[in-house]
């Protein structure tokens, strides 16, 4: 019994020394490793993006996004034919843009609607993989109930077997805007 106690006493300084070495190594790694993580470039003036969406019928699209989805109109602007051509935005068509957001705050992402009065050249999609390009957006909501009431009031068809529960707390609803863009709505009941 005495020998094991003596052994522990002999190894205690070595154990403490190894513990301190490990602790110092861990502290150094905690300071040094973050400097090796990938940092995004500091090139952007805003953290959000603005998305321009060309629609067939601007009034119909505005009605959907304002009265069904619940976005707010925060601005509008026009681009004349000369400037549109100079900037490479069109072959010389002027157009007006209506700026919508989920909330009226400076950094909220912008959903910019515009129309050139033309019909789409591709068929309306039934499912997300039916076409290429931007097919859907996801909107996270605080409560699904107000959205479901507006969807029902405006006779907007819910797709799939929605509303459906994603997990114990979050509900999922899928609809399409008048031009076929899918809108995922996710949030608690």
Mean pLDDT, contiguous 10-residue spans, the chain (189 residues)? 58 65 63 64 79 94 97 95 91 92 92 89 79 86 96 96 93 95 94
Count of domains for the chain? 2
130/182 same-domain check: yes
Q: What is the pLDDT, as a whole number, of residue 130?
A: 82
Q: What is the pLDDT, as a whole number, of residue 96?
A: 92
Q: Is-contact 138 104, C-beta < 8 A?
A: no
Residue 53 lies in a domain: yes
Measured CA to CA, the distance from residue 90 to residue 143 in angstroms comes to: 40
Residue 134 lies in a domain: yes
105/153 same-domain check: no
Residue 74 lies in a domain: yes
The answer for residues whose C-beta is within 8 angstroms of residue 165's C-beta and 6 or more apart is: 171, 172
Domain boundary (119, 153, 173) is at 119
110/143 same-domain check: no
140/111 same-domain check: no
100/138 same-domain check: no
Name the helix (H) or strand (E) containing 184: strand 182-187
Q: CA distances (Å), 147 to each of 87, 91, 188, in order? A: 38, 39, 11
CATH number, domain with residue 170: 3.30.720.110
* Domain around 166: 124-189
Domain boundary (91, 119, 147) is at 119
Residue 75 lies in a domain: yes
Q: Which of 90, 86, 112 has its CA nearest to residue 101?
A: 112
Q: What is the pLDDT, as a whole number, of residue 126?
A: 82
Q: Which of 108, 106, 83, 86 has its CA nearest to residue 95?
A: 83
Q: Is-contact 158 174, C-beta < 8 A?
A: yes
Q: What is the pLDDT, as a whole number, of residue 36?
A: 61
109/130 same-domain check: no
Q: What is the pLDDT, as a whole number, of residue 34?
A: 62
Domain boundary (119, 146, 170) is at 119
Residue 6 lies in a domain: no
Name the helix (H) or strand (E) containing 147: helix 144-153
CATH number, domain with residue 85: 3.10.180.10
């Amino acid at each position: 019994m005495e020998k094991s106690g003596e052994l522990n006493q002999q190894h205690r300084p070595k154990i403490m020394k190894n513990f301190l070495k490990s602790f110092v190594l861990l502290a150094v790694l905690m300071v040094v490793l973050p400097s090796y993580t990938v940092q995004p470039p500091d090139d952007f003036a805003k953290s959000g993006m603005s998305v321009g969406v060309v629609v067939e019928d601007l009034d119909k699209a505005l009605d959907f996004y304002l009265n069904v989805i619940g976005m707010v109109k925060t601005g509008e602007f026009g681009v004349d034919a000369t400037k549109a051509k100079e900037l490479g935005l069109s072959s010389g068509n002027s157009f007006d843009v209506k700026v919508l957001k989920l909330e009226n705050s400076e950094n909220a992402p912008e959903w910019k609607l515009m129309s050139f009065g033309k019909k789409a050249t591709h068929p309306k999609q039934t499912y997300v993989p039916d076409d290429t390009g931007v097919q859907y957006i996801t909107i996270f909501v605080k409560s699904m109930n107000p959205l479901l009431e507006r969807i029902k009031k405006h006779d907007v068809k819910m797709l799939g077997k929605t509303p459906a529960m994603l997990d114990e707390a979050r509900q999922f609803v899928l609809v399409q805007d008048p031009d076929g863009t899918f809108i995922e709505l996710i949030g608690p009941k």
